[in-house]
Amino acid sequence: MTIAVKIKNLSVTLSGDVKALKDISMELPVGRSIGFIGPSGAGKTTLIRSIVGRLKPTAGSIEVLGLPAGDAKLRDQLSYMTQELSVYPDLTVKENLRYFAIMMGHTKDTNTIIEEVLNEVDMIDKADSLVKNLSGGQKQRVSLSVALIGSPRLMVLDEPTIGLDPVLRESLWKLFNKLKTRGTTLLISSHSMDEAERCDDLILIRSGKVIAHGSPSELKKQTGTKTIEESFLSLVGGEPE
């Protein structure tokens, strides 16, 4: 399989008749890091929720790893880190991970799994801390470690590095690149343009529409600019929304 996600003519209308996604199509290849980049309210989370099967499209279709989005068989092949914290503050880091590992059907060797994923995010020393007593960036890393359980083929991460310092951000990108070498596909949303430069491919989203799709260097070449931020501004070009 070479295509991880295939989206055809997807539209999503949310309550209040908000047209959050408007007829978007894309094919995302396996084994790459793909950034969904766009301003706040552009539709990144809506697109992510549609891909992971939490939102039903109003029109169009989504195929994930060869199956329809939301198919039960995708449960152990796909992980989703939400934009809001999704771990339990009154449990310790380890207790959270054990809970999620069991929920995902890993009943044996949970200690080994927990140790592995905590090592990946450099949080072993906080294994017995209550999540509510951790810093924002540490909580973020616990959420990410949950998404690493079971070595999913596709990881969908909504703003995974927001609120992290540059050193931690660097180490997470190292981890993302390591995961990619194992064939994992990463979908990462961000509104940070410098983060966009680290992705293999970018989908620039604005007002529910895809305004560009390509590698950072392709987009910069296409627009004759030096940074993705400039490319984005050039593509938007003062058009009304």
Ligand X SMILES: Nc1ncnc2c1ncn2[C@@H]1O[C@H](COP(=O)(O)OP(=O)(O)OP(=O)(O)O)[C@@H](O)[C@H]1O
Residue the block writes with tokens 């939400």? 82
**Contact letters (x/-) for ligand X, 13-42, by CB under 6 A?**
-xxx-x-x-----------------x-xxx
Q: Helices 216-223 and 228-236 sit at what angle, rounded to 10 degrees?
A: 50
User: Does 45 engage in binding with Mg ion (CB under 5 A)?
Assistant: yes
Which stretch, 12-20, 85-93, 162-170, 226-234, contacts ligand X (CB under 6 A)?
Answer: 12-20
* C-beta of 28 vs 81, nearer to Mg ion: 81
CA 45 from chain centre, in angstroms, equals 9
Q: Rounded to the nearest whole angstrom, what is the least distance from the CB of residue 53 to Mg ion in the complex?
A: 17
Phi, psi dihedrals of residue 199, rounded to the nearest 5°: -80, 155
Size of the site for Mg ion (CB under 5 A): 3
Instruction: Quickly list H helices, 6-92.
Output: 44-51
Sign of the CA dihedral with 88 first, then 89, 91, and 96 last: positive
CA atoms lying within 13 Å on the CB side of residue 8: 4
Asked if residue 161 binds Mg ion (CB under 5 A), the reply is no
Report the C-alpha gap between 23 and 9 in whole angstroms.
Answer: 4
Q: Which residue has the tokens 């989370």?
A: 45
Report, in Å, the least distance between residue 73 CB and ligand X: 26
Residue closer to ligand X by CB (options 120, 159) is 159
Q: Which stretch binds ligand X (CB under 6 A): 44-52, 110-118, 127-135, 149-157?
A: 44-52
Q: Which stretch binds ligand X (CB under 6 A): 2-10, 43-51, 94-102, 136-144?
A: 43-51
Task: Give residues 101-140 in contact with ligand X (rule: CB under 6 A).
Answer: none
- Return the H-helix or E-strand segment holding 99: helix 93-103
Tokens found for residue 49: 């929720």
Binding-site partner at residue 59 among ligand X, Mg ion, none, CB < 5 to 8 Å by type: none
Residues making contact with ligand X (CB under 6 A): 14-16, 18, 20, 38, 40-46, 83, 191
